[in-house]
Amino acid sequence: MIYFQLFYTFFLIGLFGFGGGYAMISMIQGEVVTNHHWMTMGEFTDIVAVSQMTPGPIGINSATYVGYTAVVNTGGAHWMGILGSATATFAVVLPSFILMLIISKFLMKYKHHPMVEHVFTGLRPAVVGLLAAACLLLMTPDNFSTPSESPWQFWISVAIFVSTLIACQVYKINPIRVLLCCALIGLLLF
Amino acid sequence: MIPVTDIKDTSRQPLPSLMGGEGGGSLFTTFFRIGLFTIGGGYAMIPLIEAKIVDEKQWITREELLDLMAVAQSCPGIFAVNIAIFIGYKLRGVGGALMSTLGCIMPSFLIILAIALFFRQFQDNPWVARAFRGIRPCVVALIAAPTFKMAKTARIGWTNVWIPVLGAFLIWMFGVSPIWVIVAAGLGGFLYGKYIAADSPPALPIREGADTEEKE
């Protein structure tokens, strides 16, 4: 029964998927392409591409898409595919939901404990480092292009980067508005 | 002894409703909006949460968001969803967690299903590709922006600036998993508190206005 398999597979991925969306994608690939043969590597690559381009966390996007494709590829109708999507998405969220509830409870209870305070004194600066790393890791030719490959796209990307920073830091414009503007600039200029 | 680090009480702001009402101020609709515009991975959600939930609605403080990011990163599962669960739980208990999670994943779910059902050539569409060339550098800057504010909130000075620098460097250059950076930093903080700062008062008291200062 494919729904049970989907549930089990994605529950495990949710439970052991440390390290964010990209780490999860390699786990999903191992399970659904290599292990269960629910889809080809090419189909999976397409799913990852769409998951990166659409709004929402990459882990949720790929679980939703993989759930649908797995059911349809094994002979299910479209509505059964939707059920597959729901199963995979629910299963991937469930472990963290349970774990986070337990952790939240403890955290809210003990956050004033001196030892917990000390731990967070170390953690807070480290999280700033994580945020900086997330940003550095995204500064790739994939996202900005390169001066040699496409000078036009590169310099406009740099201009978008700088103006977004100014819009957020100096003028405190809502990030959603800035995103929409940049999408429009992309449509007009590229 | 309990340090004087009373984090701002969120009760001075009206608590959000679970589902509807209050002009879109509910947990579900707030996270739906955030989920809808989280493009490019979990960290892209941070600037949106910062703008909407920390600055505008003041449901949590910037410092709580920092703590929460450390916890969400070291837990299994999806970073953005973990954050939604915690905020929902903190504000309205288990029901709140359920609503914020649903709100956060619903846009993904609906959009992906729409693509799977009707628009399978989505990633090859030239209009979509163009819009994304504009969005990508914007997302990178959106993630860069809160880094500076967070640095202020984490009270980074000359004594501890090496922590974020080393952490970012290890992740960026050597591909170290962020989880190890979190574990090391937490352990370091613990040991520091236990053996070095044991006699002196623990963490510096957090100034009440630390978060509001920069908002004019």
- How does pLDDT run along chain A (190 residues), one tens digit per residue? 899 999 999 999 888 877 666 678 878 888 898 889 999 988 888 888 888 888 888 889 999 999 999 999 998 898 999 999 999 999 999 999 999 999 998 888 888 888 888 888 888 899 889 888 888 888 888 888 888 888 999 999 999 999 999 998 888 888 888 989 999 999 999 8
Domain of residue B195 covers 155-216
Q: Which of B126, B146, B166 is the last residue before a domain boundary?
A: B146
pLDDT of residue B10: 44
* Domain match, B40 and B62 both: yes
Residue A95 within any structural domain of the chain = yes
Nearest-10 Cα torsion for B50, B53, B54, B56: 100
> What number of C-beta contacts closer than 8 Å exist between A and B?
390
Q: Which of A104, A124, A157 is the last residue before a domain boundary?
A: A104
* Domain match, B55 and B136 both: yes
* Domain match, B20 and B81 both: yes
Average of per-residue pLDDT across B75-79: 85
Q: Is A176's CB within 8 Å of B33's CB?
A: yes
* Domain match, A79 and A19 both: yes
Tell me the C-alpha distance between B145 and B163, whole Å: 19
Does A30 reach chain B within 8 Å, measured CB to CB?
no
* Domain match, A9 and A96 both: yes
Q: Is B69's CB within 8 Å of A175's CB?
A: no
HSE-CB of B78 using CA atoms within 13 angstroms: 33
Residue A49 within any structural domain of the chain = yes
Nearest C-alpha neighbor of B64 from the set B93, B39, B90: B90
Burial B40-69 (b: 16+ CB within 10 A, else e): bbbbbbbbbbbbbbbbebebbbbbbbbbbb
Residue A40 within any structural domain of the chain = yes
DSSP B206: P
* Domain match, B175 and B81 both: no
Tokens of B106: 């619903």
pLDDT of residue A155: 94
* Structure confidence at residue B206 as a pLDDT band (50, 70, 90): very low
Residue A145: which residues within 8 A CB-CB, separation 6 or more? A153, A154, A157, B133
pLDDT of residue B211: 39
Tell me the C-alpha distance between A51 and B154, whole Å: 33
* Domain match, A82 and A150 both: no
Tell me the C-alpha distance between A47 and B120, whole Å: 10
Residue B8 within any structural domain of the chain = no
Minimum mean pLDDT range among A126-130, B76-80, B203-207: B203-207
Domain of residue A173 covers 139-189
Smallest Cα distance from A75 to chain B, Å? 15
Q: Nearest by CB to A117, which of B145, B155, B203?
A: B203
- Put simply, the chain B residues between 13 and 32 with a CB less than 8 A from any chain A CB are none
User: Has residue B202 got a pLDDT over 60?
Assistant: no
User: Has residue B2 got a pLDDT over 50?
Assistant: no
* Domain match, B91 and B178 both: no
- Put simply, the chain A residues between 115 and 144 with a CB less than 8 A from any chain B CB are 115, 117-139, 142-144
Residue B3 within any structural domain of the chain = no
* Domain match, A20 and A88 both: yes
* Structure confidence at residue B170 as a pLDDT band (50, 70, 90): very high
Tell me the C-alpha distance between B187 and B192, whole Å: 8
Average of per-residue pLDDT across B40-63: 88
* Domain match, B132 and B162 both: no
Nearest C-alpha neighbor of B71 from the set A118, A10, A146, A100: A100
Residue B82: which residues within 8 A CB-CB, separation 6 or more? A96, A100, B71, B72, B75
Residue in chain A nearest B192 by alpha carbon: A118
* Domain match, B159 and B127 both: no
User: Has residue B142 got a pLDDT over 90?
Assistant: no
pLDDT of residue B19: 60
Residue B172 within any structural domain of the chain = yes
Q: Domains in chain A: how many in total?
A: 2
Minimum mean pLDDT range among A83-92, A164-173, B1-10, B50-59: B1-10
User: Has residue B21 got a pLDDT over 60?
Assistant: no
User: Has residue B24 got a pLDDT over 50?
Assistant: no
pLDDT of residue A52: 82
Higher pLDDT, B8 or A188: A188
Q: Which of B146, B169, B190 is the last residue before a domain boundary?
A: B146
Q: Domains in chain B: how many in total?
A: 2
Residue B81 within any structural domain of the chain = yes
User: Has residue B25 got a pLDDT over 70?
Assistant: no
Average of per-residue pLDDT across B95-102: 93
Minimum mean pLDDT range among A180-189, B19-28, B136-145: B19-28
Interface test with A, best of B108, B122, B148, B161 (most A CBs within 10 A): B108
Nearest C-alpha neighbor of A36 from the set A17, A10, A62, A64: A10
* Domain match, B196 and B122 both: no
Q: Which of A83, A104, A125 is the last residue before a domain boundary?
A: A104
* Domain match, B26 and B70 both: yes
* Domain match, B159 and B140 both: no
pLDDT of residue B208: 41
Interface test with A, best of B78, B124, B128, B147 (most A CBs within 10 A): B78
Tell me the C-alpha distance between A74 and B147, whole Å: 45
Residue B51 within any structural domain of the chain = yes
Residue A81 within any structural domain of the chain = yes
User: Has residue B9 got a pLDDT over 60?
Assistant: no
Nearest C-alpha neighbor of B102 from the set B34, B5, B156: B34
How long is chain A?
190
* 3-state SS assignment for residue B14: coil
Residue B7 within any structural domain of the chain = no
Average of per-residue pLDDT across B129-155: 86
Higher pLDDT, B210 or A50: A50
* Domain match, B113 and B210 both: no
Residue B4 within any structural domain of the chain = no
Tell me the C-alpha distance between B153 and B62, whole Å: 7
pLDDT of residue B201: 53
Residue B116 within any structural domain of the chain = yes
